[in-house]
Amino acid sequence: MTTFTPIFPHTRPRRMRRDAFSRNLMREHTLSPHDFIYPVFITEGEGLKTPIASMPNQFRMSLDELLKTAQEAVDLGIPALALFPVVEADKKSLDGAEAYNADGLVPRAVRLLKQHFPQLGIMTDVALDPYTSHGQDGVIDASGYVLNDETVAILVQQAVCHAQAGADMVAPSDMMDGRIGAIRAALEANGLIHTRIMAYSAKYASHFYGPFRDAVGSSGNLGKSDKKNYQMDFGNVNEALHEVALDLAEGADMVMVKPGMPYLDVIRAVKQEFKAPTFAYQVSGEYAMVHAAAANGWLDLEGCMMESLLAFKRAGADGILTYFALDAARLLQSGHSF
Ligand code: PBG
């Protein structure tokens, strides 16, 4: 028979949690505006700032409006913007050739931003989905299969076009094999030795991209087809490590895991294995989820925003692409504790 004797713990972890000062002292991970890359949707036109229904507070912006947002980002200490174009239907084609038009929307946006904000990092997306009439990230054969090497040849032209316009970082989000090596070789051959490559290395065939596809207008074109023959199966983590190893060997400066919140284990594994600059993309569906629950009064918006962002740092990410960038930076700047 055992008897119960009260034990007064001689270690009381709650002592350190009692007051803000000791909680602050022992906090292991922190957030700063320097951790964020802000993804923005750009469109032709003037004076346009069109709301995106499934992404509250996010807009499709014409370039004059983009400049105002860039100014805000600079004032908040956000290091970089990532540009995503909304391309007019008549510029879309089977092979997505508009993707490397030097006078296209993205190169014009890059030139304008670099002219006004030379110190702000500008990242561009390298993939064909905004430009293809079928919404896939590359060119397809008669059966709808995305052709690898033919697509890589076009992505190389797109990346060089963006870099020549002044993009500081190109970010291939297409998941074709060998594209990082091909892009790196072309950048070097064109004397663009400073252009950084952020590889979407572990990009999963996720259901969380829905609002993004609505925002850029590719979901209708994509119809019922998916991207599973090039984006990764979400049951896998070793495959992510394999992809990261290839991209680093091919010349990536930074690697990314996407989506974010459901893939913190992958971020951790990648950081632990490679110790390379590692980024997370908190994607459109994650953003929409938090907003939708908050709009129902079911979750606290600011609290969940900061908690989810800090979780990426805890998992090992060096930085986060997030639609919350401006809001989170504002909150951090105000000294608000969370
Ligand atoms: C496409 C691309 C996607 C996103 C970034 N680049 C969507 C897709 O692969 O269909 C998703 C970003 C988000 O959901 O926020 N190249």
DSSP assignment of 42-98, as one string? E-SSSS-EEEETTEEEEEEE-HHHHHHHHHHHHHTT--EEEEEE---GGG-BSS-GG
216 contacts: CB under 8 Å, gap ≥ 6: 41, 84, 85, 86, 87, 129, 130
Distance CA 164, CA 102 (A): 9
pTM to 2 decimal places: 0.96
Give all strands (DSSP E) within 140-265, no chain letters. 169-172, 196-203, 254-258
Mean pLDDT across the chain, nearest whole number? 96
Helix (H) or strand (E) holding 38: strand 36-42
Q: Which two tokens stand for residue 177?
A: 């094999």
Residue-wise pLDDT for 151-197, tens only, equals 999 999 999 999 999 999 999 999 999 999 999 999 999 999 999 99
CA of 190 to the centre of ligand 1 (A): 28
For the annotated catalytic residues, the residue numbers are 203, 258
Count of H helices and E strands in the chain?
13, 10
Residue-wise pLDDT for 63-100, tens only, equals 999 999 999 999 999 999 999 999 999 999 999 999 99
CA of 318 to the centre of ligand 1 (A): 20
**Lookup result for tokens 């979400």:** 234
15 and 59 Cβ atoms separated by less than 8 Å: no
Known binding positions: 243
Please provide the CATH number assigned to the domain covering 30-333.
3.20.20.70
∠ Cα 90 211 318 (to 5°): 110
Among 259, 241, 293, 282, smallest CA distance to 31 is for: 282
Residue-wise pLDDT for 190-245, tens only, equals 999 999 999 999 999 999 999 999 898 877 788 888 999 999 999 999 999 999 99
CA of 336 to the centre of ligand 1 (A): 32
Residue 89: what pLDDT?
94
Output the ligand 1 site: residues, CB below 6 A.
Answer: 125, 127, 129, 137, 173, 209, 212-213, 227, 283-284
User: What band does 6 get if pLDDT is binned at 50, 70 and 90?
Assistant: low
The identity of residue 243, as a single letter, is E
Distance CA 332, CA 338 (A): 9
Write down the domain spans for the chain. 30-333
Among 276, 323, 305, smallest CA distance to 31 is for: 305
The protein residue with its alpha carbon nearest to ligand 1, atom 14, reads 209
Distance CA 199, CA 247 (A): 7
Work out which ligand 1 atom sits closest to the CA atom of 285.
14
Buried b (16+ CB within 10 A) or exposed e, 233-269: eeeebeebbebbebbbebbbbbbbbbbbbebbebbbb
Residue 337, pLDDT > 80, answer no
Q: What percent of the chain has pLDDT over 90?
A: 92
Helix (H) or strand (E) holding 16: helix 14-17
Q: Which two tokens stand for residue 257?
A: 């895991």
Give the residue, out of 136, 261, 283, with the most ligand 1 atoms within 8 A of its beta carbon, to mutate for a pocket test: 283
